[in-house]
Structure formats: C-alpha cells, structure tokens
Structure 1
Amino acid sequence: MSNRKWQTIKVSYCQRVGHEVSLEAEVVYPSDVMPDQPPRIVAHRCSFGLQCNLEGTPSCVWAGTNPDYDPFVENAQQ
C-alpha cells in the first residue's frame, strides 16, 4: 500500500497574511511491491490557506481559491 505524506517544499514570507508560511506538497510514495516507481506529487497547500479562504476574496493558487495568482513565483522573479 502506498504512503501519503505532506512535505514542506519552501518557507517564504506572505504579504497577504503577514507571516512566514510553509508551502507544502502531498507526496505519494510507492508501495513495497513496486519500489522502482518514483514518488508523485498529488496536491499543494499553504500553511495559512485556511486564513486566506476565510477572508471571502480569492487569494492565491496555494490557498486553492485563485489558480491565476501565485505570489511566490512573483517574489522569486524580482
């Protein structure tokens, strides 16, 4: 049976919530029966995604409410 785990990809400052946030990915590791398969990323989330969703306006791709806006990509390009 496969194992699912949330792993921190990156820690970054988010201007929207005013805190350091953890950007996490849900990784599925293969079972012992098929050990040669690579792990797969099936989902992404932010540690403050719930707080952003409670504000009532679309926030970002990491909170799951606005797939067109990723504030952490913009920060990396500057």
Structure 2
Amino acid sequence: MSIRQWQTIKVSYCQRVGKEVSFEAQVVYPDDRLPDQPPRIVAHRCSFGLQCNLNGTPSCVWSGTNPDYDPFHENSEA
C-alpha cells in the first residue's frame, strides 16, 4: 500500500500574516512491490493557509484566495 506524507519544502516569512510559514508538498511513496517507481508530488499547501482563508481578505495563492500573490516566489527573488 502506498504511503502519503506532507513534507516541508521551504520555510519563509510571510508578510501577510507576520509569521514564519512553511510550504509543504504531499508526497506519495509507492508500495514496496513497486520499488522502481519514484515518489510523486500530488498536492501543495501553506502551513498557515487555513487561517488565512478564515481571515476574510484575499491572502495568497496557497490559501486559494488570491492567485496573483505567491509569498514563496517573491521571497526567493529578493
């Protein structure tokens, strides 16, 4: 049976919430019977995305409310 895990890819400071947040990916590891298959990434999320959604204002692409703002992309360019 395959295993699904959320793994932290990157930690960054988010100016919208004023906290350190982590960018996570859901990775699916194949069953032991398929050892040659690589792990697959099936989803991405922000560790603070749910709280941003409850905020009532458009936050970022990872909370699903503002597709034009990606705090992880902007912080990597600085």
- TM-score in terms of structure 2 length: 0.89
Q: Which residue of 2 aligns with 1:24?
A: 24
Q: Is the 8 A contact 2:61 2:69 kept in 1?
A: yes
Q: Is the 8 A contact 2:12 2:75 kept in 1?
A: no
Mapped pair 1:67 → 2:40: no
What SS does the corresponding residue of 2:31 show, helix, strand or coil?
A: coil
Q: Which residue of 1 aligns with 2:41?
A: 41
Aligned partners of 1:35, 1:58: CA distance in 2, in Å?
Answer: 43
Runs of 4+ deviating beyond 4 Å: none
- TM-score in terms of structure 1 length: 0.89
Q: Give the number of aligned pairs.
A: 78
Instruction: Mark the runs of 5 or more structure 1 residues left unpaired by the alignment.
Output: none
Moved more, 29-38 or 60-69: 60-69
What does residue range 46-57 of structure 1 map to in structure 2 within 5 Å?
Answer: 46-57=46-57
TM-fit CA distance, 1:71: 1.6
Instruction: Mark the runs of 5 or more structure 2 residues left unpaired by the alignment.
Output: none
CA distances 1:4-61 after superposition (whole Å, capped 9, x unpaired): 0000001110001100011111000000111111100011111111111011222212
Q: Kindly provide the amino acid, as one letter, of the partner of residue 26 in structure 2.
A: E
Q: Is the 8 A contact 1:9 1:25 kept in 2?
A: yes
Identity over aligned pairs, percent: 82
What SS does the corresponding residue of 1:4 show, helix, strand or coil?
A: strand
What's the RMSD between the two structures over aligned residues?
Answer: 1.2
